Amino acid sequence: MGRMRWIALDMRVIVVAVEGGVKDWAAYIGAVEGNSHEREYEGVMDYGTQLPQKVAELLFPDFKHLDWRD
């Protein structure tokens, strides 16, 4: 896995962008307890729902140069 970055959209909602090993990426959204985003983002990365590409690109424009992972 390459780069990873998360954004809290709300106290209980996090989105996470993850770069894969073959210069691709995807972003995921999920609900969290809201106690510690620094720990909770990992659950979103593993079990969250994949965002549509257009939404992900708006939130994480610095990942757009990579291929999108379907």
Give residue 5's pLDDT. 96
What average pLDDT does the chain have?
Answer: 95
What whole-number distance in Å separates Cα of residue 21 and Cα of residue 6? 18
Give residue 52's pLDDT. 98
The residue ranking higher by pLDDT, 24 or 2, is 24
Give residue 57's pLDDT. 98
Tell me which residue range forms the domain holding 44: 4-68
| Sign of the Cα pseudo-torsion (17, 18, 24, 28, in order) | negative
pTM of the model: 0.93
Q: What is the DSSP letter of 48?
A: S
What whole-number distance in Å separates Cα of residue 29 and Cα of residue 41? 9
Number of domains in the chain: 1
> Residues 27-56: pLDDT tens digits?
999 999 999 999 999 999 999 999 999 999
Give residue 70's pLDDT. 87
